[in-house]
Every structure is written in structure tokens, then in C-alpha cells.
Structure 1
Amino acid sequence: MRSLFILGIRGVPAQHGGFETFAEKLSLHLVEKGWKVTVYCQEDGEGEIYQSQWEGIDRIHIPIAREGAFGTVLFDWKATRHALTREGLFLTLGYNTACFNIMQRLQRQTNVINMDGIEWRRDKWGAVAKVWFWLNERIGCWVGNHLIADHPKIKDHLNTRVRADKITMIPYGGDEVRSADKAILTEYGLQADQFSVIIARPEPENSFLEMVRAFSSRHRNHKLVVLGNFTPETNAFHWAVMDAASDEVIFPGAIYDATVVQALRFYARFYLHGHRVGGTNPSLVEALGAGCAVIAHDNHFNRWVAGPDAAYFEDELACSKLFDRLLSDSVAVQQMRSASRKRFKERFMWEQVLLEYEALLIRWDLATQPRT
């Protein structure tokens, strides 16, 4: 029986983000194919490490009393140390604590690392954090037996660190959405196709201020729903975004109910994606899977994911002009929606993504087996 251990995430079932969702999908897929899959899970509180099972997946729970980034680092440290006692193939999702994976390299464990995005380029991090991420990216490239990039441009970037045959490009996946509960819209005072949506962390690098200002530059007879955890009383950027918003902009906060988020995507006229840094963004992939008409920041990350038929803006003025032109152009919107579904089926369906991961992991599992 093939055995895989997954490190680098909070755990399964998914509750926290894209990597957790991916880990859940991959784990269930591999268990169905006869693999023994173990996922390290971070738990709040104190106590001893314990084990459980969920949907055929073995889980190793590590209680952590500290919150925030330090708690995550402590969890990764304890999980990696615990993994040294195990035999099998390892998949680490993210390189943020790749310095700990040096122990696995010394132990001669085979570790495939998904290198995620170029974290040290993100505006939200201070100088110390950027140095930490930069160093760990370098270390991850060195200690990983093989690297996974989720975007062609991420692969190009990693290729400046290591040889090309050490990297495989496999994007993030998503579920196709063909229907959603329209009744959910009434809870937010919305009507189908009479609103657009932003779903992201409210960070400067995600173009929140530019998009909200562009929309609010004139009366639109349309609503803009901005999902995210805004704390204007303690965050100056959050305050600036909310202060720039017209009365047609709605801030319902962070919404974690998947059925609600799905409905907001599915019935929105546009999905706005302002990310300027990163690889294949899960939220953008999910928007394609829901057939959203996409308006995105113009960069090579977003252009590869959303394709040539999405609408792109470079700055606030260009974004405003897109609203001026497209809000009333139903023919263009329908063409954009069709193009999104086509692009999604070309490259981002979970079935295809998981099969590519399985093939890569089988290759490395075979490489770990002793020769007879």
C-alpha cells in the first residue's frame, strides 16, 4: 500500500483556505485509489498529540496553545519532528517553514513541496517577514526532492533557483457550479445580476482600494459586494477602503459558509479579482467554475488563469472605464461567462488536477522503493 503524509496545512476537513481544500480533495481521491493518507492537523489548546480518522484519512492532531503566525510556525516544527518517525512519501504544502524540512532531508525522507506563491513579494509583510520567506523559499528549493508550481510563471521563477526537471507545474483546481440557492440573495438585499462581488483578503496588493474607488466614482445603479474581514478601527487601509465606498457598496464581512459564497459568485454580474501577486489563485479558479464574468488586475498571473476573454485593468481609471462600458453590455457579459466556463474546463477541473498529482506522487513513491 502506498503511504503519503501531508504537512503544511491546518488539517482536514477543510476549514481555513485553499490549501486545506486541496488537501481534502487529494486525500479523498488517493484513499479511494487505495493509498494510506495521513494529514497533520493543528488544534487549538494544550495536550498530547493524538490520532483519529475522517473519511478513511488518518489524522495526527497536534494541540498548539499559541495563536497567529507563531502558533503556525510552532505547529510546523512539531509536525515535522513527528514526521521524522514515519515511513512513506511526504507532501509539504507551502515553503514558509522549509527550514524545518532540512531534518527530513538529513533523514533521507522523500519530500515533494508545493511552493505556492512568491510570498516574499507581498506588500503586507514587513522587512523581517520578507527575509524569512525569501530564505525559506531558497531552502525549500534545495531540500525538496521535487517541487510543484501552481502556475507557469511560478515555475519560471523557481527555474531561476533550480533546474527545470526538478519542477512540475500543476494548477489549483475547482468545482464546476451549475446552480445555486437564489433565496440567499434576499438576506443581503440583492437581486441576481444586479450586483458584482469581490472575495479576497483586504490587503493593498489585492487592489481593494482601486476597485472600490473605481466603482464608487459615479452612481452605478448597481451594488458592489465586498467580502472580507474589515477592521477599520485598527487597520488604516481597511478604513481607507470603506471611506472611499459609495452607498452602493456593501461590506457584509467575511463569509465562510460555502453555499452563501457560491450563490454570491453564481448570481453576480461580475467577479472582481485585484490580486497583483501570486500564482493560480483558488478564488479566481472558483469564479471560473461558477461561470463568472471576470474583471481582473492585468498581470501575467491572472491572464494565464482567466484567459484572453476576461476584462483587465491596470489602474483605478481603467477599472472605472470597464464598469462604464460593461455594466450595461449584456452581450459582452454573456460572452465573458461562456469563456470562463471554457477556460475552467480546459485546465482547472479537480478530476484532471488530482490525476496529475497522483501520477507525480506515484513516480516519487516508486523512486523511494528499494531496488531488488
Structure 2
Amino acid sequence: MPDRVPAVLILGTRGIPAAHGGFETFAERFARYLAVRGWCVGVYCQREVDRVGTRISSQVWNGIERITVEVALKGPAATLAFDAICARDAARRGGVCLVLGYNGAAFLPFLRISGARILTNMDGIEWRRPKWSFPIRAYFYVSEWIAAWSSHRLVADHPAIADHLATRRSRRAIVTIPYGGDPPPAEVGPPPLGLEAGRYLVSIARIEPDNNILTLVEAFSRRYRGVRLVVLGTMSVHNRYHRAVEAAASAEVLFPGAIYEPDQVQALRVHALAYLHGHTVGGTNPSLVEALWAGNAVIAHDNPFNRGTAGDEQFYFDDVASCAAAIERVLTDADAVEGARAAARRRAENFRWGDVLATYEDEVRQLGGYPPAERVKAPTGEPVGATAGAEW
């Protein structure tokens, strides 16, 4: 009897092509990686409409089935409706379900009872984020437990996340797979926004309390620095925290808003004197991984997630005073900065997309009962179909 064609469905994101964040980027990369390796791949994609025309439709994109679900709602209600419809549809299709995040965990028990094999990336510890109200944090807390017990296997993207998940499930049910990254291209354009290479620090993050943006801005703005601080991220005058961040900023702080053009963001990273990372909740953060690949010296909040990703050779802080001290050292100690840059490039080797995608494929194969993949190597040493020679 010939081997079954391996099949996987990817749930939990807004869909592909990627346009919204780390999970969407991973979903696109993994789907394309599997498609060129002979898999049958389906990715659920959310479309918000005024009135539902065709609830579920399919289109083939780069050898991947984009399963588009129309939802005539907005915001969180739309997300929950989308997750419910995806779970119901996936239950009748077969194949392994790769679920990214646990926002729709309420529907996973139905999916499991229907016979689906479920691998869930548990993301960060969402219920710890201070930005959420108590009811929302309680919802995420319960959802985490539901996902942990409804899934056959759990993915942690950081050892500290694996330790946390081990309080919910046996370690035998948990695999640690980090987020991936790519080295920057050989030719990178000049920094945008009229900036001068090596004369600015950059932060790329949502402007939220658990990302410590106010701490970064207050620390930088304590005195004249002679360089710029570029804070990427959407700002709103209607948001109290955003107003506080802007009020704390000196004239040397630049708020360009969100920039989505990859070449501009890449240039901002590569030419920065240092990358500032204030995240306190989560695992292997995609933006921090990209900073390591760019060879950035990193000033990061001191917690197990950031140290476990960036390593001990970077600069760390836990309050405004220690952040100001770290900024001062970066601005005055060129040898320390060069050492941190070299350490970042070495550390980045732990986060190669080729290795990440191959490990995910192994997990999905085992869960689906498919035969092991042949480990054919590309000339670069990365698995065929990964970042080597592929256009992402």
C-alpha cells in the first residue's frame, strides 16, 4: 500500500500571505516549506465582511490551500466566530491540526473528540499581560488550561515557556522549538527617516506597558544624548499610556508610527547603534530574534525570556535607572558594543528557519503517523525547502 500523503491544517492565525505578525509569518513559511516537500497543506484565513456571501471558500496559493472564512463581525467577536468555524470545518477534513496560540481553545475539545490530532503552539503567557482587564485575563487563563489538556502535543518556543507548561502537562507532551530568523541581505539600503547610520537607537514593538516603552523613553530622555531614539509602533491620542510615553520624550525621540515595509525595517535594524527590547511576557520574541540576526547590540529588560534568547553578553535593565545606565554604556563604550554585536551574530545561529521548520515537520509527522522525512540537505546545510534558495 502506498504511503498516505501527509496533510496538515494550520489554525489560529488571520491567514496568509503574512501581514499581521509573528504567527502569520511562521504560518506562511511553514506552509510553503511543507508544500514543496509534498504535503497537502491548508491554512485558514479570516475575512471580515459586512454580509456573509460564501462562508467558506478555497483557493490554491503557491501550492497551499487558503481556506477563507467570511465573518460578518468585528473585533474579538469576529475572532471567536472564525475560530469556531475553523474548528468545525477542520474536524471533517482529517490530517494534523497545527494550532497557533490558544485564543480559540474553547473549541479544541470538540476538535479532539472529532478525532483530529492536535499540535498547539502555546505562545506566551497571555494572561499575565497587565494591559488586559481581569475578565480577559481570566479568559486567557482558562483557555491556556483547555488548550494544554485538549492538545496531543504542546510547543513551547522558549525553555522558560516549557517550564511553565510543565505545570499544566507532563514534559513528555511538550517540545521546545524557537522562532526562526534569517541573516540580512548582503546589500541593505540606508536607514529611512533621514537617520544617520550608527547615530540612533531603535525600539520595534507595540506601545504597551508590558513592553516597557515608557521606561525606555524616560531612561533615554533623562539628558541630552546626541543621538536619536526611534520608537516604532502605532500611537493614539486616545490611549492614556501612549500619551504618557509621548509626554516623557525629549526632542531627540522620534515616533514615526508603524512601518510595515520589510526593507525599511531591515535597514533600521542593521544601521542602529543598538536595539531596545522592553518585553516582559512571552517566549522567544520574533523582533528580538531579528535583532540578533541583524547583529544588533541589545538593551533588554532582564527576564528569563530575553536572557534565554539574547544571551548574557548583551545589556540588561530592570528599571529606569538601570536602563539609563545601559544606554549610557552603549553610547560611550565602543568595545562593549562591538562585543555585543559579535555575540548577537553567534547567538542568532540558534534561530535558523531551516532548523525550526524541520523540527516542526518532524513533530507533525510523528503526530499524524506519517513516515519520517528524508533528511536531504541543501548546499548551505539547511533542509531543502527552507530558507536556502527559497523566496519568502
Corresponding residue SS for 2:103:
coil
Give the 4+ runs in structure 1 shifted more than 4 A: none
Deviation at 1:69, TM superposition (A): 1.8
Q: Aligned residue for 1:199?
A: 204
Question: What is the Cα-based RMSD across aligned positions, in Å?
Answer: 1.2
Distance 1:173 1:367 in 2: 24
Question: Are the aligned partners of 1:285 and 1:348 in contact in 2 as well (CA < 8 Å)?
Answer: yes
Instruction: Tell me, yes or no, if structure 1 residue 221 matches structure 2 residue 214.
Output: no
Residue from 353, 358, 364 that aligns with 2:356: 353
For structure 1, list consecutive stretches of 5 or more residues without a partner in the other structure: none
Distance 2:187 2:239 in 1: 34
Deviations 1:333-356 (A, max 9, x none): 1111111110011x1010111111
Residue from 15, 21, 30 that aligns with 1:17: 21
Instruction: Tell me, yes or no, if structure 1 residue 302 matches structure 2 residue 306.
Output: yes
Q: Aligned residue for 1:254?
A: 258
Question: Are the aligned partners of 1:195 and 1:270 in contact in 2 as well (CA < 8 Å)?
Answer: yes
Greater CA drift, 325-334 or 350-359: 325-334
Distance 1:209 1:179 in 2: 34
Deviations 1:35-60 (A, max 9, x none): 11000000121321111011111111
Greater CA drift, 70-79 or 267-276: 70-79
Corresponding residue SS for 2:93:
coil
Distance 1:180 1:148 in 2: 35
Q: Aligned residue for 1:109?
A: 116
Q: 1:103 to 1:87 in 2, by over 3 A?
A: same
For structure 2, list consecutive stretches of 5 or more residues without a partner in the other structure: 372-392
Corresponding residue SS for 1:237:
helix
Distance 1:223 1:309 in 2: 24
Q: Aligned residue for 1:341?
A: 345
Residue from 60, 68, 71 that aligns with 1:64: 71
Flag the structure with higher helix content. 1
Q: 1:367 to 1:57 in 2, by over 3 A?
A: closer
AA aligned to 2:212 is S
AA aligned to 2:168 is R
Q: Aligned residue for 2:389?
A: none
Deviations 1:301-338 (A, max 9, x none): 00000001111001100010111122122221111111
Question: Are the aligned partners of 1:180 and 1:266 in contact in 2 as well (CA < 8 Å)?
Answer: no
Residue from 66, 79, 92 that aligns with 1:85: 92
Greater CA drift, 43-52 or 302-311: 43-52
Question: Are the aligned partners of 1:179 and 1:266 in contact in 2 as well (CA < 8 Å)?
Answer: no
Corresponding residue SS for 1:341:
helix
- For these two proteins, the number of residue pairs brought into alignment is 364
What TM-score comes out, normalization by structure 1 length?
0.96
Corresponding residue SS for 2:369:
helix
Q: 1:95 to 1:40 in 2, by over 3 A?
A: same
Distance 1:225 1:85 in 2: 48
Residue from 27, 31, 34 that aligns with 1:30: 34
Greater CA drift, 334-343 or 40-49: 40-49
Distance 2:31 2:131 in 1: 32
Question: Are the aligned partners of 1:10 and 1:16 in contact in 2 as well (CA < 8 Å)?
Answer: yes
Question: Are the aligned partners of 2:299 and 2:327 in contact in 1 as well (CA < 8 Å)?
Answer: no
Greater CA drift, 144-153 or 64-73: 64-73
Instruction: Tell me, yes or no, if structure 1 residue 123 matches structure 2 residue 130.
Output: yes
Corresponding residue SS for 1:319:
helix
Q: Aligned residue for 1:177?
A: 184
Distance 1:13 1:112 in 2: 22
Deviation at 1:72, TM superposition (A): 1.2
Q: Aligned residue for 1:138?
A: 145
Deviations 1:121-166 (A, max 9, x none): 0011101100110001000011001110001011010101111100
Residue from 45, 48, 53 that aligns with 1:41: 45
Distance 1:108 1:283 in 2: 36
Question: Are the aligned partners of 1:180 and 1:262 in contact in 2 as well (CA < 8 Å)?
Answer: no
Q: Aligned residue for 1:326?
A: 330
Deviation at 1:367, TM superposition (A): 7.0
Q: Aligned residue for 2:59?
A: 52
Deviation at 1:6, TM superposition (A): 0.4
Distance 1:141 1:367 in 2: 23
Percent identity (aligned) = 48
What TM-score comes out, normalization by structure 2 length?
0.91
Question: Are the aligned partners of 1:11 and 1:39 in contact in 2 as well (CA < 8 Å)?
Answer: yes
AA aligned to 2:228 is K
AA aligned to 1:349 is R
Q: Aligned residue for 1:147?
A: 154
Corresponding residue SS for 1:182:
coil
Instruction: Tell me, yes or no, if structure 1 residue 241 matches structure 2 residue 248.
Output: no
Q: Aligned residue for 2:374?
A: none
